Structure 1
Amino acid sequence: MGGEHMQIGEVAARTELSLRTIRHYEETGLVMPSARSQGGFRLYTEGDVARLMVIRRMKPLGFTLDEMRDLLTATDRLDSGEDLSAADRRQLVDRVRHFAQLTQQRVIDLRTQLARAEEFAATLAERLPGPAAS
């Protein structure tokens, strides 16, 4: 992907991730800057931002760094234009499908947790005395 390069501060603002978090994802190999400036600053593309958004969306669903890496590797290979055998393509699609299923289950689980939390909050609110009469 070509186009404009962004420095890490702009990427952080666009992804709502901290500089520290973006650097951590770089250290773990989840995302790499597409280039470096002459001064050594990290430079990122829209593709790098999209990759960070995938990571950001996976994190609250409890996916591990290894699981994130696994999904990103599968999607990278599928999107690369690489000449894949039918068996390799099927395996990669199955991998992505597996993550889609895990994601759906985790969303259901989170909705259940949210409903329970809302019920609890309502129960507590009911127990509070009304406004004091003056």
Structure 2
Amino acid sequence: MDDKHMQIGEVAARTELSLRTIRHYEETGLVIPSARSQGGFRLYTETDVQRLMVIRRMKPLGFTLDEMRDLLDITDRLDAAEPADSTERRALLERVETYEQAAARKIEELRTQLTRAEDFATTLRTRLQKAPGGETAPRTAELPA
């Protein structure tokens, strides 16, 4: 990994996260900047950016901050684990597998929601096309009481 330090603006651009979001993840202890400049600016490494990317990928799947923290802890421990300690490594990998299975389930739920949303949009489009003269219904139409 590169030891180059980046300021928060560059990290925000690379991760497509807002400065506010990155600061929030610092406040919650998910990603602490690796260093501070003499002027007090947050400085991040490539490892910090990768941690933020893990969080960014977990968020749309509905994982909680505690789950994000747990998975980041697991990956840190896997990276630091001695290859000889196969029992701990196996236990950590089982926990990662649990997250992988949860992610797969959440992705399927999102696919179902997307399909329903697309069906709804198609129904509306069809309804508009069937309207007399292809015109849209008046926006002031009242709903039945």
TM-score (norm 1): 0.92
- Asked if the contact 2:15/2:53 (under 8 Å) is kept, the reply is yes
SS in 2 for 1:30: coil
The letter of the residue matching 1:49 is V
- 5+ unaligned residues in a row in structure 1: which ranges? none
Structure 1's 7 and 74: CA in aligned 2 closer, same or farther, altered over 3 A? Answer: same
- For residues 18-52 of structure 1, the C-alpha deviation after alignment (integer angstroms, 9 at most, x for no partner) is 11110110111100101110111000011111110
Larger radius of gyration: 2
Distance 1:109 1:55 in 2: 19
Cα offset, 1:127, TM superposition: 0.7
* Aligned equivalent of 2:9: 9
Measured on the aligned residues, the alpha-carbon RMSD in Å equals: 1.5
How do 1:50-129 and structure 2 match up within 5 A? Answer: 50-82=50-82, 85-128=85-128, 129=131
Higher relative contact order (CA 8 A, sep 6+): 1
Distance 1:110 1:124 in 2: 21
TM-score (norm 2): 0.85
Q: Taking every aligned residue pair, what percent have the same amino acid on both sides?
A: 70
- 5+ unaligned residues in a row in structure 2: which ranges? 136-145
